[in-house]
Chain A
Amino acid sequence: MNIVVCVKQVPDTATERKLRSDDSTIDRSANGVINELCEYAVEDALKLKEAHGGEVTVLTMGPDQATDAIRKALAMGADKAVHLSDEALHGSDALSTSYALSQALKKIGFDVVILGSESTDARTGMLAAMLAERLGVPQLTLASKIEVDGSAISIHRQTDYGYDKVEATLPAVVSVVEKPDPFKPRYPSFKGIMAAKKKPIEKIGVADAEIDPAQIGLAAAWSVVSDFTAAPPRGKGVVVNDEGDGGTKAAEFLVSKKFI
């Protein structure tokens, strides 16, 4: 099975994240790490490969220095990587990103594309659906479990009442959510880290993927950041002194906020 995992390098959530003052895009010069949900996507891809054979290719779109995410996915056990990197892609919004990635995916070829359901930087959560539409294949979103049987693919999607089982035929696009143990992403073993040094990383540009430059970048973005401002500091909380009626007061507070 030909499995492609889309991964994204994002600014470390443990550090202060900023927007650039010149064009309001995310400042990617800070410490980059692999987006956490992408690690789950890699883990699911590796499990599929272990069960059904085939190959796991990592696809990322991002600046030249955004290689930490690729390295980690390869160290976890992915076989090879394609890095779509081009100055012309800077400032692409979700819509144009989905276009650029779909062009790269057509070039790579795939039976299943797996990606995290959202990234910690932009958090649009729309890419899987957009990619499926552009590629003309089924979308199986928010998967907590993936199963493949021949050309049939099915996922579990957690709901309030249990889970939905969603089925489709390959090829398909799957987005995955965070899962508890034992489905957490594996750590790269030290041998995996060393082996990753020898795995091929193919760097491609806009022309290689036959991407129309008019449909990407800041100029082609359908969404525009017109202004941004820092969130106001959190106000002081409400202190309820328990004078025998603490429970009632707490309940009244929750009612006033429409929690109960």
Chain B
Amino acid sequence: MDLLNLDDRLTEDQRLVRDTAQGFVRDHVLPDVATWFEEGTFPARELGPVLGSLGMLGMHLSGYGCAGLDATSYGVACRELEAGDSGLRSFVSVQGSLAMFPIWKYGSAELKEEWLPALAAGTAIGCFGLTEPDHGSDPANMKTFAKQDPSGDWILNGSKMWITNGSVADVAVVWAQTDGGIRGFVVPTSSPGFSAPLIHRKLSLRASVTSSLYFDDVRVPASSVLDVVGLKGPLSCLSEARFGILWGVVGAGRACFEAALEYAKTRVQFGKPIAGFQLTQEKLAWMAVALGQAGLTALHLGALKDAGVLRPQQVSFGKLANVRAALDVAREARSVLGANGVTLEYPVIRHMNNLESVLTYEGTQEIHTLVLGEALTGVAAYR
């Protein structure tokens, strides 16, 4: 139920991308995702090769077995994947935008050959280590340190936290302080001194692998360092991933809205479906408006990205506005479902809990608010 017919703006190819992602979610995700969520698992090894065969990993990159889609297609695919679960979209975002993108953009020819085809096929899994236990919004003060020894090898020490895919990854893109500024390293997870224990007792993104990373004198060759210096390296990756998020959450919100609409039409109280009550209609109308606005924002930012003029503060606008909208829609939808809204029989509370993480990761809503504040006033509040 899209009152604005936004998908009429998509091209034939973008609609095919949408349909393939929808079909994948319908056949491979929706039958089991509530169980994954309840059990706190994500079958990364099983789904990885399927996602790879469909071209969903690194879909917006070119060469090395990647599909080379336009930005709007990438967004549409994220929207449909996240209509399944934010954990699924997180897996695809991390693989494509946070692990593959930096190797593709800043890696040597050897690194690209070594990792990109396997990551695109889903036979290898990647993760991205920036956030640390004590440094989230403030990555410039990260403690993880890499030192080059006389042989030319780099020695990494430190830790990372809240790392999606960490425990199942074959390769980690790790950002660390060096004597010459922040650098990125492509670290095989089989390296001696590397460990990645699972983070347990999450109540959000439960169908997603979240880990800590520890580096205890992890040695990597000089060829594994990425060709970028400073925070702009990791921030450029996050800008890619956030673009996927601002599209993805529209799918999560839509799934909640659809569940609420269907429930309202069939749930009878006081002798008629609750969809016939004004209070419920107001909720449904408001949800449809919020989702339509978020969808329009995503479409517009997709057009800007395809034109090559998308600026980081515009991505912040989209991430801030759309995640907030999706979370509000999920909460409203939950109330339409009454007590049924708190069970995993319906997708709503799963999405709602997931979106609490999405609100925080890849730039908290507070940081994106301050980015907009800086863009508007010219004064940075966090420096």
B16 touches A194 (CB 8 A): no
Stretch at the interface among A65-73, A203-211, A226-234: A65-73
A107 at the interface (CB under 8 A from B): no
Do A188 and B20 touch (CB < 8 A)? yes
Of the listed stretches B50-58, B309-317, B347-355, chain A binds B50-58
B20 adjacent to A190 (CB under 8 Å):
yes
- CB contacts under 8 Å to B, within A175-196, are 187-194, 196
Report the interface size class on chain B. 20 to 34
Asked if B69 is at the interface (CB within 8 A of a chain A CB), the reply is: yes
Is residue A47 within 8 Å, beta carbon to beta carbon, of the partner chain? no
Task: A72 to B12: give the CA distance in the assembly, Å.
Answer: 9
A140 on the B face (CB < 8 A): no
Report whether B12 and A190 are in contact in the complex, using a CB–CB cutoff of 8 Å. Answer: no
Decide yes or no whether B13 CB sits under 8 A from chain A.
yes
With contact pairs A187-B19, A187-B54 given, residues A193 and B24 touching in the complex (Cβ less than 8 Å): no
With a CB–CB cut-off of 8 A, which chain B residues contact A197? Answer: 13
B54 contacts which chain A residues (CB < 8 A)? 187, 189-190
Who on chain B is nearest to A184 by CB?
B27
Pair A71/B12 contact, Cβ less than 8 Å: yes
A187 contacts which chain B residues (CB < 8 A)?
19-20, 23-24, 54
Tell me if B17 and A190 are in contact (CB < 8 A): yes
Give the docked Cα–Cα distance between A242 and B55 (Å): 55
Q: Is the CB of B13 within 8 A of A191?
A: no
Report the Cα distance A196→B53, complex, angstroms: 16
Q: Which residues of B contact A78 (CB under 8 A)?
A: none
Cβ contact within 8 Å between B12 and A189: no
A61-B1 Cα distance, complex, nearest whole Å: 31
B residues 1-54 near A (Cβ < 8 Å) are: 12-13, 15-17, 19-20, 23-24, 53-54
Task: Give Cα A67–Cα B65 distance, bound, in whole angstroms.
Answer: 27
* Shortest distance from the beta carbon of A229 to any chain B beta carbon, whole Å: 28
User: With A67-B12, A68-B12, A71-B13 given, is the CB distance from A190 to B23 under 8 Å?
Assistant: no
A6 touches B (CB below 8 Å):
no
Contact indicator A68/B15 (Cβ below 8 Å): yes
A residues at B contact (CB < 8 Å): 67-68, 71-72, 75, 187-194, 196-197
Sorted nearest first, the 9 A-B pairs with minimum C-beta distance are A190-B55, A190-B67, A187-B20, A191-B55, A189-B55, A187-B23, A191-B67, A189-B54, A71-B12
**Chain A to chain B contacts (Cβ below 8 Å), 22 pairs:** A68-B12, A68-B15, A71-B13, A71-B16, A75-B13, A187-B23, A187-B24, A189-B54, A189-B55, A190-B17, A190-B55, A190-B56, A190-B59, A190-B67, A190-B69, A193-B13, A193-B17, A193-B20, A193-B55, A194-B13, A194-B68, A197-B13
